Amino acid sequence: MKKINDIAIIVQARVSSKRCKRKMIRKFADTNLLQIFFNKIKRSKVVKKENFYFSSYDEEINKIANKNGFKIFKRSKESALSEGQNIKILYEWWNKLDYKYCVLINASLPFLSIKTIDDFIAKYQRSSFRGQFAVAEKKNYYWYKKKLINKWPKKLQCMNTKKIDSLFEAAHCLYASPMDIIGKGYFMGNLKNINNINLYVIKNPIETLDIDEEWQFKSFESIYKNIKKKLF
């Protein structure tokens, strides 16, 4: 059990996305991805405004956060350009914000619901797990170097996804970790052995649609226009 005021809720964003240029602030439907996220977080029943931080180097993005009344952690250029080789640089707030834990949210998933975000935080807060991250359940057949990863179902001679054991894919949207272990070069814990890390399964596949590439931006924008009234 953790105290909710010991948990910092953090979003990192940057303009310099290499695969999908300016994805966070360019027009998406009648708004932008960053504003979609801010509108969601304002409706949270779990996130306290005083515990929420927007981490960015770019003034263009920071202005949007300021207009929405959120606190800004001024990210360094080195952190903004980092690709994760050194997490103490990538998450440079780890020893500058006075919290024991953090929940990091990816704002580039337009269909990720505030209900899921709140539930993720609440489950981490109530748990004894050191780390937690969101995953998507996949019932399919996967090979690595021509070897089947999951076990072939007994008494089955052809592929049947109803019979195969589930595998879990990182959803790249919600992460929770103690702050201090970031200083030791870990985030959430040892990801090669996740005994003390909880896998939080997101049930609705559409919530895990993450925009990394240009084709995803255009495709998901079209979907968003058609279903946003049902979502929000």
pLDDT at 231: 63
pLDDT averaged per 10 residues in sequence order, the chain, 232 residues: 96 87 94 96 95 95 94 93 88 96 97 97 96 95 89 85 88 96 87 85 96 96 85 60
Give me the pLDDT at residue 230, please.
67
pLDDT at 161: 83
CA-based nearest residue to 156, from 136, 137, 138, 141: 141
CATH topology of domain 4-231: Spore Coat Polysaccharide Biosynthesis Protein SpsA; Chain A (3.90.550)
Domain ranges for the chain: 4-231
Task: Give pTM, 2 decimals.
Answer: 0.92
The two beta strands, 197-201 and 131-138, are parallel
**pLDDT of 174:** 98
Closest CA to 25 of 114, 113, 111, 107: 107
Q: C-alpha distances in angstroms, 168 versus 84, 116, 124, 165?
A: 22, 17, 19, 10
Phi, psi of 178 (to 5 degrees): -65, 145
